[in-house]
Amino acid sequence: MTLPLLSVTLATLLIGTVLTFVAKEKARYVALATSVVFLLEVAALLAAYTVWPGPVNGSPGYANLESYSWIHLSWLSINYTVGVDGISLVMILLTAFLQIATVVYSWEETKEPGAFFGLLMLTCLGCFGVFIALDVLLFFLFWEAVLIPMFFLIGFWGGPRRRYAALKFFVYTHVASIVMLVGLLALVFYSGAKSFDFSAIYVAAHGLSPTVQTFLFLALFFGFGVKFPIVPFHTWLPDAHVEAPTAGSVLLAGLLLKLGAYGLIRWAVEILPIGMSHLTPLLYVVAFASIVWGSVIALAQRDLKRLIAYSSINHMGIVLLAIAVYSQLGLLAAVLLMFAHGVVSALLFMASGSVHHTFGTRDISKLGGITPVAPILATMLMVGSLASLGLPALISFPAEFTALLATWDRLAYWVLIPLVLLVVTAAFYLWMMQRVLFGPQRNIPEKAHDIPWFETAAMGILVALVIVYGILPGFLVNVIVNSPVYGFPGFP
């Protein structure tokens, strides 16, 4: 028996989180140390994965698999089952990077630092759990464990309308969670799996009739989709972002949106491909609606954070589209884009948070010519914007390129919709940069100066990722295509 690396990592995060809560003023050191250890463990996981021999033929086996019986009844067995594949590993890598960047960015948080850093850690812990859980109950526990710290981060450390935003966030995602849970439970009981274990469900679900599969997929799609978020269930996102503290926005956009996409791939697409095939037109419509709506509304925004939030809706729409085309290329693109969007949106939210601290507003119509005052901040915002609009050699390009290529492959000229919207996306980012970064200086406070070292460092990490993975996406690609799903029978 090899080292139970996943459980060790989980334990690290758990202990780190608890220590952070109790460390009060010293919380940031504990949080940073935990994050670094976490990143090293993730590196070990990735290293182990590259030599992993792959699943046994026909089974959806996962690497680093651990399974312990938890609750065992005659009609149901619940296990502590964890394991990873390429898709979850890429998401875990994203979690580790964003955790470090967020902790560093919030280095001088003074309002209840113990609780603040503790909640950040708890959010990341929950995300990690979601990405490794291969048991319905475990998955759901972690899923909820993400929701609640985020609720408090928005509600306690947020902006003026934080109560409203936190509640809206909570209600939306909670309703979705319930639908998702009902869907998952129904999946277990209908398929007769008698187990909450992913592999058991996967095998049992083959016996389901197409109609049942379709209904189950629909429930799961709604449950996961609100987290994406999909139009028209997206309005919680801009409000949550505007009111959330910067660190909260970063985790929200960088990680929480990915949970929805990851959940859809893991628990719906992999298990219920036939159900999905019956709902493909719906998925396309929703994806196109999100792409168009997110981009078009973003063009009308004046608040920097709202603009980025709507741009996120557009990008997650492309993720959904890439999942919906259901091909090897499409899935690869979806996961790459999830990673890319995680990094880029984190960078952009950090930059807009720094704009807010430095210049006292995020209103694009009031800002102007900040480049000479804060050249480093301006550079960060520019790199983020250029990456987000899909500039080649930056992280989003390989992802968007493969996503659109996969779309063309399946949908032919419908690909013109996302392509045209790429122009609109470029338009609002360019317009924002013209107003905020360039032109004559407007409303610059007397004491405005460039950002402090820890904000530079946090964004520097992300900029490095944007460039490194933009130039060398091959590493991520190799990890992703090594996932068991690529060997599933019938996966085109």
Partner 1 sequence: MAVSFGIVGLLGTRLKKLEYGGWIAVGFAAAAMIVGLLVAAAEMLSPGSYTDQSFTWLHLPGSPGTFPNGFSLVMGSLVDPISALMLLVVTVVGFLVMLYSIGYMHHDHGLPRYYAELSLFLAAMTGLVIADNLLEFFLFWELVGVCSYFLIGFYYEKPSAASAAKEAFLVTRIGDVLFLLGIFLYFTVYATAGGGAGWAASGFKFVSGSTPFLAGAMGGNTPLLTVAGLMMLAGAAGKSAQFPLHAWLPDAMEGPTTVSALIHAATMVAAGVYLLVIASLFLGFTPDDRLAIVAVGGFTTFFAATMAVVHPDIKRVIAYSTISQLGYMVLGVGAGFAMVGMYHLFTHAFFKALLFLAAGSVIHAVGTQDLFKMGGLRKPMRVTAIAFAVGALSLSGIPPFAGFFSKDDVLSSVYTAAQSNPAYWPFLILAYATVFLTAYYIFRAWFLAFSGDKSRDPTLPAAHEGPWTMQVPLYVLSALAIVAGVLPFTPSFGSLFSLGGATSVPPTYGTTDLVLSSVSVGLGLGGILLARALWGNGRVYVLAPDSALQPMRTILLERYYIKAGYDWVGLRIVYGGSRVADFFERYVIDGTIHGFERLGTKLSNGLREGQTGLVSDYASYVVAGVIGLLILLLFVAPLIIASLGGP
Q: Which residues from 456-485 bind partner 1, rule CB under 8 A?
A: 472-474, 477-478, 481
Site membership for partner 1, residue 297 (CB under 8 A): yes
Q: CB 235 → partner 1: shortest distance, Å?
A: 5
What string marks each residue from 112 to 151 as x (binds partner 1 by CB under 8 A) or -?
x-xx--x----------------------x--xx--x---
Compute the distance between CA of residue 464 and CA of residue 471 in angstroms, rounded to an integer: 11
Site membership for partner 1, residue 328 (CB under 8 A): yes
Bridge partners for 78 per DSSP: 71
Site membership for partner 1, residue 50 (CB under 8 A): no
Looking at the Cβ atoms of 5 and 162, the one nearer to partner 1 is 162
Q: Which of residues 409-438 bind partner 1 (CB under 8 A)?
A: 409, 415-416, 419-420, 422-424, 426-427, 430-431, 433-434, 437-438
Looking at the Cβ atoms of 345 and 402, the one nearer to partner 1 is 402
Looking at the Cβ atoms of 116 and 131, the one nearer to partner 1 is 116
Compute the distance between CA of residue 320 and CA of residue 64 in angstroms, rounded to an integer: 28
Spell out a b/e string for 290-326, using b for 16 or more CB atoms within 10 Å of the CB, else e. Answer: bbbbbbebbeebebbbbbbbbbbbbbbbbbbbbbbbb
Site membership for partner 1, residue 156 (CB under 8 A): yes
The residues near 244 (Cβ < 8 Å, ≥ 6 apart) are: 153, 154, 157, 158, 159, 162, 165, 252
Q: Which stretch binds partner 1 (CB under 8 A): 49-57, 161-169, 248-256, 343-351?
A: 161-169
Helix, strand, or coil here: 83?
strand
DSSP 135: B
Run of H or E residues at 80 = strand 77-84
Compute the distance between CA of residue 380 and CA of residue 303 in angstroms, rounded to an integer: 18
Site membership for partner 1, residue 185 (CB under 8 A): yes
Q: Which of residues 369-398 bind partner 1 (CB under 8 A)?
A: 369, 371-372, 386, 391-393, 397-398
Q: Which stretch binds partner 1 (CB under 8 A): 7-15, 108-116, 249-257, 283-291?
A: 108-116
Q: Which of residues 204-243 bind partner 1 (CB under 8 A)?
A: 215, 232, 235
Looking at the Cβ atoms of 48 and 426, the one nearer to partner 1 is 426
Task: Give the Å distances, CA to CA, from 311 to 234, 301, 460.
Answer: 12, 10, 22
Looking at the Cβ atoms of 5 and 404, the one nearer to partner 1 is 404
Q: Which of residues 62-101 bind partner 1 (CB under 8 A)?
A: none
Only one residue has tokens 């005052």, namely 373
Q: Which stretch binds partner 1 (CB under 8 A): 2-10, 186-194, 268-276, 357-365?
A: 186-194
| Sole binder of partner 1 in the list 300, 365, 449, 464 (CB under 8 A) | 300
Do the Cβ atoms of 202 and 488 come closer than 8 Å?
no
Q: CB 109 → partner 1: shortest distance, Å?
A: 15
The residues near 196 (Cβ < 8 Å, ≥ 6 apart) are: 76, 77, 78, 79, 135, 136, 137, 138, 188
